[in-house]
Homo-oligomer: A and B are copies of this chain.
Amino acid sequence: MSRKTFQRLSLDVRRRSLMEATLTCVARHGLHGASVRRITEEAGVTVGLVRHYFGSKDDMIRNAYAYLVGQLTAQASESARAAEGTPEAQLASFLRANMTRPNMDEETVSLWATFIGRVRHDPGFAEIHRDGYREFLSVLETLIEPVLIHHGCPYSVAICRNHAIALNGLIDGLWMEGAINSGLYAQDILPDLITGAAERLLELPAGALSVPDIALQSTGHPTHREQQSKPS
């Protein structure tokens, strides 16, 4: 009967491995089914390590949530930065990125929702959520501002912020319902749908955010844009 062989990993690597295993288990079995044993088995280690790297299971889960939110906001900022070209193209690319993989992913949404449910009663979760939300709003404002100015729309910090709040609501709602997708509509209508909706929300001329020939390869659907998204 020999002991399990193991590797000593650096603090960062091991911590991240445990947090990712935590997220995997929470997504798969819910918060209630994500036991320390399942998580550590998923990470390929034994239970004792939880205490060693995090004080407790709850602490590990909080850290995993922060890790998830960090990934999400980083991904969002990334999508925004990656898009080049006009401010319109950047905003459009950001919106479309949130309606396609990998950003719009059912497992991620499940995770996100599960944690959101704990925000109300756990101050630690609340802080993590608030920071992520603030960051997302900030990114949106940065993207919206030059578009409004460029089109000579009525502009002020307050207007821009209100637009960001509304647009964030739209993104969140479509992101969630779209990812969970109940089969009531095809998911691939969403990129065009949100583009049109954003144009109207910001009172831009129709088509202001639609793809200008090139420039949107990064969304994954470069070639076919067409009929289905035309509400008018």
Chain A residues within CB distance 8 Å of chain B: 27-32, 34, 106-107, 109-111, 113-121, 126, 129-130, 133-134, 137, 154, 156-159, 161-163, 165-166, 168-174, 176-178, 180, 182-185, 189, 193-194, 196-197, 200-203, 229-232
CA distance A156 to B230 in the complex (A): 11
Asked if residues B120 and A182 are in contact (CB atoms below 8 Å), the reply is: no
Rounded to whole Å, the gap between the CB of A177 and the closest CB of chain B is 6
Rounded to whole Å, the gap between the CB of A39 and the closest CB of chain B is 13
CA distance A53 to B194 in the complex (A): 45
Contact of A129 among B107, B115, B180 (CB under 8 A): B180
Which residues does chain B contribute within 8 Å of A203, judged by CB atoms? 200
Which residues does chain B contribute within 8 Å of A117, judged by CB atoms? 30-31, 110-111, 113-115, 117
- List 5 A-B pairs, minimum CB-CB distance, nearest first: A169-B173, A114-B117, A173-B173, A172-B173, A32-B32
Asked if residues B30 and A231 are in contact (CB atoms below 8 Å), the reply is: no
Asked if residues B180 and A120 are in contact (CB atoms below 8 Å), the reply is: yes
CA distance A18 to B180 in the complex (A): 28
Contact of A32 among B30, B154, B168, B201 (CB under 8 A): B30
Asked if residues B180 and A116 are in contact (CB atoms below 8 Å), the reply is: yes
Asked if residues B30 and A182 are in contact (CB atoms below 8 Å), the reply is: no
Asked if residues B133 and A182 are in contact (CB atoms below 8 Å), the reply is: yes
CA distance A189 to B162 in the complex (A): 9
Which residues does chain B contribute within 8 Å of A163, judged by CB atoms? 231
Rounded to whole Å, the gap between the CB of A207 and the closest CB of chain B is 14
Asked if residues A172 and B180 are in contact (CB atoms below 8 Å), the reply is: no
Contact of A154 among B110, B119, B184, B231 (CB under 8 A): B231
Rounded to whole Å, the gap between the CB of A227 and the closest CB of chain B is 10
Asked if residues B32 and A158 are in contact (CB atoms below 8 Å), the reply is: no
Asked if residues B156 and A232 are in contact (CB atoms below 8 Å), the reply is: yes
Which residues does chain B contribute within 8 Å of A169, judged by CB atoms? 169-174, 177-178, 194, 197
